[in-house]
Amino acid sequence: MTGLPLSVGQEFQVRLNVALNNVLYHLELEEMRGNPAEPPEPSAKCVQGRGDPCGRPGNRGSVPALVTPRLNHMTNNNYIDLHTHSTVSDGVYSPTELLRRAREVGLRVLALTDHDTTGGLEEAAQAAAAQDIDFIPGIEINTDVSGGEVHVLGYFPDYQQPTFQSVLKILRDARERRGQRMVELLNEHGITVAWERVRELAQGAVGRPHVAKALLEAGYVQTMGEAFDKYIGTGGFAYVPRYRLTPDDAVRLIASVNGLPVIAHPIELPGLATLRDWLPGLCEVGMAGLETYYGPYTREQEQALRALANEYHLIPTGGTDFHGPGIHLTPLGGRHVPPESVERLKAEAAKRRGKTPPTFELPPPVQEK
């Protein structure tokens, strides 16, 4: 999917958005490092509250009052997104288009974390360089637990390792068979969806959003979310379990290529109580972080996760889980992630780089009915 050319007005807004976010990103980064920006001249007009350049609480550096309302409206001070998807797995936009849109909303740092594949990372890295965006290679491994799925993100993996790619291919092949079985179940219940059309929509690895899009296109649902709720979500008659990796397996797999494993959106599953029980074992096998600043999470949920991350010396990360418009409530770049998260990820990746990682052996597949 490619974007239409921008008008002169749109291009100006994009450039202004990028420039303002660039300033704010570096101001916050300097503040995090303990080097606050120089205070403004006494004659500068100051803005109260967050972003106040007058040295009051919430200082984010010297930002003229003239641009602050527009800045807050356009950027909401978000310039990092560490959880996104492309058409290479189950997203709506190609890696190139995703990076173009990231630039439009003023992102300075983006990680591509497609499900069970690194096939879009090279294209994304090239697009990020062209858009002057700091790119972090990533992946998201899907696992199964009692009650649903738990996802494990991986940052900075040595993803070109042949053994790693062999495991990912097995997982993707299982995903393809899963998609076929979902279509079969839909057809058995009188919901006519063609497998060929699902594959056309996917343009790569097939995921449930592609089946949902086919249902939407055929008129069986009004939204993508409705497709999950009625048919292909957990509990739906066309839901099919996947090749069953455990969260422990996923952490080990990512750690086997010196990647940084991070439990994704943990509030829903496993939930805080279960997560606390899991953390000692997961940390023992190499878990590095906890997705804390996630899309719709409340301040209370964020604080609870941050406390857990601090207790277990994990890196609090965050992002939107952006797949495309209308799939998740949070738009691309719509969740604030502190620069410290990126700095700590990079530092930990540098420590692991070049070390001999632990080995990983894929468990046998589970025979499903």
What's the pLDDT band for 148 if we cut at 50, 70, 90?
confident
Of the candidate ranges 42-56, 99-113, 173-187, 232-246, the one whose mean pLDDT is the lowest: 42-56
249 with 351, same domain: the answer is: yes
User: Same structural domain for residues 145 and 179?
Assistant: no
Is the pLDDT reported for residue 284 higher than 70? Answer: yes
Residues 96 and 130 placed together within one structural domain of the fold: yes
Asked if 295 and 181 touch (Cβ cutoff 8 Å), the reply is no
Burial 8-26 (b: 16+ CB within 10 A, else e): eeeeebbebbbebbebbbe
Q: Are 230 and 221 in contact (CB under 8 A)?
A: yes
Do 133 and 58 lie in one domain? The reply is no
Does 115 score more than 50 pLDDT? Answer: yes
Domain CATH for 117: 3.20.20.140
Contacts by residues 172-177 (CB-CB < 8 Å, ≥ 24 positions apart): 172/116, 172/117, 172/205, 174/242, 174/243, 174/365, 175/115, 175/116, 175/205, 175/206, 175/207, 175/242, 175/243, 176/205, 176/206
Give me 109's structure tokens. 């740092």
- Quick: pLDDT tens for 212-253: 999 999 999 999 999 999 999 988 999 987 677 999 999 999
Judge whether 54 lies within some domain.
yes
- Position 7 scores a pLDDT of 53
Q: What is the mean pLDDT of residues 202-206?
A: 79
How many domains does the chain contain in total? 3
Provide the 8-state DSSP code for 63: -
Q: Are residues 207 and 253 in the same domain?
A: no
Same domain, 205 and 127: no
- Do 176 and 277 belong to one domain? no
Same domain, 313 and 368: yes
- Do 265 and 360 share a structural domain? yes
Residues of the domain holding 26: 1-76
Closest CA to 294 of 81, 53, 6: 81
What is the rounded CA–CA span in Å between residue 149 and residue 298?
21
Tell me the pLDDT band of 280, cut-offs 50, 70 and 90: very high
- Quote the pTM value: 0.70
Instruction: Looking at the structure, tell me whether residues 58 and 83 fall in a common domain.
Output: no
CATH number for the domain harbouring residue 191: 1.10.150
237 inside domain: no
The pair of structure tokens assigned to 26 is: 């570096």
Judge if 271 and 307 occupy the same domain: yes
- Which pLDDT score, from 0 to 100, does residue 366 have? 60
Rounded to the nearest 5°, which phi and psi values hold at 116?
A: 60, 25
Query: What is d(CA 262, CA 22) in angstroms, rounded to the nearest whole number?
Result: 27
